[in-house]
Amino acid sequence: MMKTPYYMINQNELDRNFNKMSSALKDNWNNSIIGYSYKTNYLPWIIQHFDNLGCYAEVVSEDEYLLAKRIGAGNRIIYNGPVKTKETFYEALSVGAIVNIDSWREIDWLEECGFKDKSIGIRVNFDIEKMCPGQSQCGDEGGRFGFCYENGELKKAIISIQSKGFHISGIHLHTSSKSRGLDIYKAVSEVACAIQEEFDLELSYVDVGGGFFGGLNNKPQFEEYFALISDVLCRRFSPDNTTLIIEPGMSLIGAPVSYFTTVIDIKSTEKNRFVVTDGSRTGIDPFLKKESYFYSIHKKERTPVIDKQVICGYTCMENDRLFTAFECQELCCGDQIEYEKVGAYTMCLAPMFIKSFPDVYVKNGDTVKSVRNAWGTEEYFMKSILEGNE
């Protein structure tokens, strides 16, 4: 019996979903790259698995860049983000990784470098809210990444990069949205075409970023996203000359991961019956913002149905309440609750609050193997310096 709490990665589901994405992408644009978004979940087993599946590593910090190097991604790296370090920026360029400039300081860095292959990508900031009202993440406040197309900053940045002898080889248009809807990708692709035309760019890649749904039957499917993107991009690009890059995170690793917890105590008050579990809301929803979770209850034995039970986590926060079960069989100690589709923005975002990182397993058919042992005191003390040894 495995000790809860733990995460379980369903490898068959992960691979099935990946293959679906990969073939839908190839069918619609026969020259493409999938860059797995490290930030979504960079558990070492996961990043290595996506590397084995042929993905590039999409990274946005020195730390993530070094993880990609560590698993042997070589130059199959897409280096994004506004907080690159100068050292890794130069290294990525010198090994031939895909680098997308996201800040003026990086443009300054170009001045000092002496590379032969002088091509680089640039991240575009554009008014997605105007094109898809109500769907963007930042609404009227606008996004903060990349160079703004509408106010002329993008033009200035392009001219500045070109004046340093660099060729703009790609544009990066990742846009986080609330809707993850098809309209977003229509808008992204239209902006890609407009920019190519306006600045007369010869682009070897267009990177539309991530932000797709995946593994949910009632949401847009990969085929729909990529058919639409391809339809629009065809106006100004061809797969013969331009690679389509996508940077999925959530759509690849969200659905195939579950979090298992066990009921460890029951407590009644005048107001409620609290079911205490050894998992926490922080393990599946680190920002404590979601209103509901996918879950299933695995009961040891049948029990009578009762009106209301409040399922709680192990932390001492009052709001560590995961859900309220109405008209449900009475939960008892030893029953398990599995939270499904929790692989994205959980393992790498969950705080070490009250308890350390839990075990992680991978299930492949009937075989279950451990891919991370829970952290304990030793791992927590690692790198700390105690009084007297400072």
Q: Provide the binding-site residues for ligand PLP, judged by CB under 6 A.
A: 37, 40, 58, 80, 174, 176, 209-212, 247-251, 344
CB of 284 to ligand PLP, least distance (A): 16
Instruction: CB nearer to ligand PLP: give 176 or 262.
Output: 176
Residues 313-338 as b or e (16 or more Cβ within 10 Å = b): bbbeeeebbbbebeebbbbeeebbbb
Q: DSSP states of 131-158 as a string?
A: HSTTTBSSGGG---SSEETTTTHHHHHH
CB 188 within 8 A of CB 207: no
Instruction: CB nearer to ligand PLP: give 34 or 203.
Output: 34
Instruction: CB nearer to ligand PLP: give 254 or 313.
Output: 254
CB of 154 to ligand PLP, least distance (A): 17
Instruction: CB nearer to ligand PLP: give 67 or 325.
Output: 67
Residue partners of 105: CB distance under 8 A and separation at least 6: none
Count other Cβ atoms within 10 Å, centred on residue 262.
17
Count other Cβ atoms within 10 Å, centred on residue 30.
11
Tokens 């640039």 belong to residue: 122
Instruction: CB nearer to ligand PLP: give 161 or 173.
Output: 173
Instruction: CB nearer to ligand PLP: give 103 or 176.
Output: 176
CB of 213 to ligand PLP, least distance (A): 9
Instruction: CB nearer to ligand PLP: give 40 or 135.
Output: 40
CB of 97 to ligand PLP, least distance (A): 15
CB 168 within 8 A of CB 162: yes
Instruction: CB nearer to ligand PLP: give 110 or 124.
Output: 124
CB of 145 to ligand PLP, least distance (A): 7
* 3-class secondary-structure state, position 296: strand
CB of 249 to ligand PLP, least distance (A): 3
CB of 262 to ligand PLP, least distance (A): 29
Q: DSSP states of 36-83 as a string?
A: EEGGG---HHHHHHHHHTTPEEEE-SHHHHHHHHHTT-TT-EEE-STT
Instruction: CB nearer to ligand PLP: give 145 or 314.
Output: 145
> Which single residue brings its beta carbon nearest to ligand PLP?
249
* Alpha-carbon gap, residue 68 to 58, rounded angstroms: 9
CB of 356 to ligand PLP, least distance (A): 25
CB 46 within 8 A of CB 7: no
* Alpha-carbon gap, residue 28 to 23, rounded angstroms: 9
* Alpha-carbon gap, residue 370 to 195, rounded angstroms: 47
Instruction: CB nearer to ligand PLP: give 37 or 309.
Output: 37
CB of 247 to ligand PLP, least distance (A): 4
Quickly list H helices, the chain: 11-28, 44-52, 62-70, 86-95, 104-112, 128-131, 153-163, 182-199, 222-233, 250-253, 377-381
Q: In angstroms, what CA-CA distances link 302 with 1, 272, 277, 298, 324?
A: 21, 22, 19, 10, 19
CB 299 within 8 A of CB 263: no
CB of 304 to ligand PLP, least distance (A): 42
